[in-house]
Amino acid sequence: MSNRQILQAMSGLMAGMFVAILAGTVVANALPRIITDLRGSQSSYTWVVTSELLAMTATVPLWGKLSDLYNKKLLLQFSLAMFVVGSLLAGFSQGVGLLIFSRVVQGIGAGGLTALAQVVMAAVIPPRRLGRYAGIFGAVFAIGTVAGPLVGGVLVDTSWLGWRWCFFIGVPFALAAILILQRTLRLPTVRREVKIDYLGAFLIVAGVCALLIWTSLAGNEFDWASWQTAALTGTGVVLLVAAVLVEGRVPEPIIPLGIFRNRTVSLTTTASLLVGVAMFGGTVFLSQYFQISLGKSPTIAGLMSLPMILGLLVSSTVAGQIISATGKWKIHLIAGAVIMTGGLALLATIDADTGFGLLSVYMAVLGIGVGMLMQNLVLAAQNDVPAAELGAATSVLSFFRSMGGTIGTSVLGAILANRVTAEMTKSLGGAGAAASGGSGESAVPDISTLPAPMREIVQHAYGVATAELFLVAAPFAALALIAVLFIKEKPLKTTSGLERLAEESKQGPSGGSTDAGADTDADAPAVPPAPVG
């Protein structure tokens, strides 16, 4: 594909990626109003968030494997269609039950978009040229992650729109992406017989769901040390051990265990998990800090996140361009990890009296570090695996990053609730624990309704607790730096995934999986002899 064709196809991929990220973040500031209107409970509040995240995280490896076997374009369009159906169901929901079900459908579609967009990029763009495009995708990911709460806050605060448009807003983007991909994306056809590992898929999804349900609900619905914790963790571990045994024996595993023998894949996967814990676990509570500790409205809270978006946008784009020009990528991973760790450490110094100017600098530093690190981890892994395993390697990194984000959000959320309780107890005595909800089960306080003395105590408590979250998150970023240091830099390949796949197919099977990556695009030509270099 020419540069123009790649940019045209990327417009569809970026629209798809944007709606996938937006689905998980746009409801952040709208959920209290949604649950109130639908007469839901605190448990319903938790499940509206958890169900989408569970479905997305658990299905990412499945979408990645399917992309190695079947038509990537049709899979991408199908995931977009699922997202549209889920969004419409959510927007028209009249009860919490239908809303939770629609979020599961949304999550499955979002899982496909998250995995497949990067897989398709690697299939049509050589790694040496991928940096300049990967930077754009990193920026889209950041904008969707951080701007989602802003969009949701504006929609909720606008009387003639309301919370239902938090779900409807992604539908036009998804439909446009389907049409653009149909017109611009052309993938060659490689046909072969395939076998789906249904048992392995079930065991992976069930095991991951058990662990994610535990990390999502522990500390809120039940104690960390409880029989529910023992049951969920025990079940999850048993199922995943069984999945490993199955995956090691079937001819077409969902997650080829052999890819973890690749040093680059193992280290980038570890770093992605740690980045997920540090980034998502820390930044997800920034909006709450803005609204409670600083007393801002949902719309203003969203606007205050712009320095982080801009930092990530600039760094990911510039780093991508430099990587494509020089072919050197490891220095950007190291610099990104160092800067990200520094940004988290700086944010660990904030409190209820921190000025927005200083806070903006800290957020911009964090955004710059994440922009240099996150997307380039995927580039390093894609450059070092056989073309037939691009989908599996890409989805594994996305899966562990999402898993890290889920674990980080849950654990740090419990730390936040406990620290708020401790601070309010220190200020108010025994009544402080009751006022704060103890384990975090009560609703988040409405600052505007509190008397001035109580408001100052609550704002101070949330400021101190939020700073502690970043202090806890910083060591995870430092561990990601250690993992990055051990990655061996290899020259970026100058042929695309499809060209490499054709070359590997001509050379014969290698490791039993080089002939994977089947596409069956009826309107695309068969694979021509691939140029090398």
Q: Which of 96, 38, 45 shows the shortest CA–CA distance to 443? A: 45
From the number of C-beta atoms within 10 Å of its C-beta (0-12, 13-18, 19+), residue 404 rates as buried
Identify the band that residue 514 occupies on the pLDDT scale cut at 50, 70 and 90. very low
Residue 517 clears pLDDT 80, i.e. is over it: no
Task: Select the more confidently predicted residue: 443 or 227.
Answer: 227
Over residues 72-81, the pLDDT tens digits come to 888 888 999 9
Region 59-70 average pLDDT: 78
pLDDT at residue 507, rounded to an integer: 65
24-28, 190-194, 436-440, 504-508 — most confident range: 24-28
Residue 484 has pLDDT above 90, yes or no: yes
Is the predicted pLDDT of residue 379 greater than 60, yes or no?
A: yes
Q: Summarize the confidence of residues 515-520 as an average pLDDT.
A: 37
- Give the residue among 363, 320, 334, 380 at the shortest CA–CA distance from 477: 334
Taking alpha carbons only, the member of 276, 301, 226 closest to residue 462 is 301
- Paired tokens of 296: 């801002």
**336: closest CA among 371, 363, 308, 360?**
371
196, 252 Cβ separation under 8 angstroms: yes
Burial of 233 (0-12, 13-18, 19+ CB in 10 A): middle
pLDDT band of 441, cuts 50, 70, 90: very low
Does 480 have pLDDT greater than 60? yes
Q: In this structure, what token pair is assigned to residue 124?
A: 């049509």
pLDDT above 70 for 264: yes
The dihedral formed by the CA atoms of 223, 225, 231 and 233, expressed in degrees to the nearest 10? 100
pLDDT reported for residue 519? 38
pLDDT at 270: 92
- What pLDDT shows up at residue 45? 64
Q: Is the pLDDT of residue 336 over 90?
A: yes
Rounded to whole angstroms, the Cα distance separating 212 from 304 reads: 30
Confidence of residue 278 (pLDDT cuts 50, 70, 90): confident
234-243, 382-391, 409-418, 436-445: segment of lowest average pLDDT: 436-445
Confidence category of residue 338, pLDDT binned at 50, 70, 90: very high
Residues whose CB is less than 8 angstroms from the CB of residue 411 and which lie 6 or more positions away in sequence, other chains included: 215, 219, 281
Q: Rounded to whole angstroms, what are the CA distances from 58 to 43, 50, 65, 203, 403?
A: 21, 12, 13, 11, 9
The pLDDT score that the predictor gives to residue 142 is 67
Identify the top-confidence range among 210-224, 454-468, 495-509: 454-468
More confident residue, 96 or 364: 364
The whole-angstrom separation of Cα 378 and Cα 176 is 26
Whether 57 has a pLDDT exceeding 80, the answer reads: no
Percent of the chain whose pLDDT exceeds 70: 81
Which pLDDT does position 512 carry in this prediction?
Answer: 40
Q: How many CA atoms lie within 13 A of 123 on its CB side?
A: 30
Query: Would you state the pLDDT for residue 515?
Result: 36
Tell me the pLDDT band of 60, cut-offs 50, 70 and 90.
confident
d(CA 41, CA 31): 12
Q: What percent of the chain has pLDDT over 90?
A: 15
Q: What is the pLDDT of residue 498?
A: 65
Confidence band (pLDDT; 50, 70, 90) for 220?
Answer: low
In the predicted structure, residue 35 carries a pLDDT above the cut 70: yes
96-124 and 497-507 are packed helices; what angle lies between their axes, rounded to 10 degrees? 70
At 252, is the pLDDT very low, low, confident or very high (cuts 50, 70, 90)? confident
**pLDDT score at 28:** 67
pLDDT, mean over the chain = 78
pLDDT of residue 528: 39
* Residue 510: pLDDT over 50: no
Beta carbons within 8 Å of 241's beta carbon, 6+ residues apart: none
The DSSP string of 431-497 is HHHHHHTTTT-SPPP-GGGS-HHHHHHHHHHHHHHHHHHHHHHHHHHHHHHHHHHTPPP-PPPSS-H
Residues of 281-294 as b/e, b for ≥16 C-beta within 10 angstroms?
bbbbbbbbbbbbbb
Give 88-133 pLDDT, tens digit per residue: 998 898 888 898 899 889 888 888 887 787 778 777 777 777 766 7
Cα separation, 359 vs 341, in Å, equals 16
At 189 the pLDDT is 54
Residue 42 has pLDDT above 60, yes or no: no
Q: 138 pLDDT band (50/70/90 cuts)?
A: low
Model confidence at 513: pLDDT above 70: no
**What pLDDT is stored for residue 78 in this prediction?**
92
Between residues 25 and 462, the one the model is more confident about: 462
Which carries the bigger pLDDT value, residue 62 or residue 272?
272
User: Tokens representing 517?
Assistant: 């990556």
What's the pLDDT score for residue 442? Answer: 45
Q: What separation in angstroms does the CA of 388 have from each of 77, 84, 123, 315, 440?
A: 21, 30, 10, 31, 46
Residue 139 pLDDT > 90: no
The SS3 call for residue 159 is coil
Lowest average pLDDT, out of 1-15, 335-349, 448-462, goes to: 1-15
pLDDT score at 333: 92
**pLDDT of 339 above 90:** yes
Distance CA(84)–CA(172), nearest Å, equals: 9
Q: What is the average per-residue pLDDT within 271-295?
A: 80
| Cβ neighbours, 10 Å, residue 490 | 13
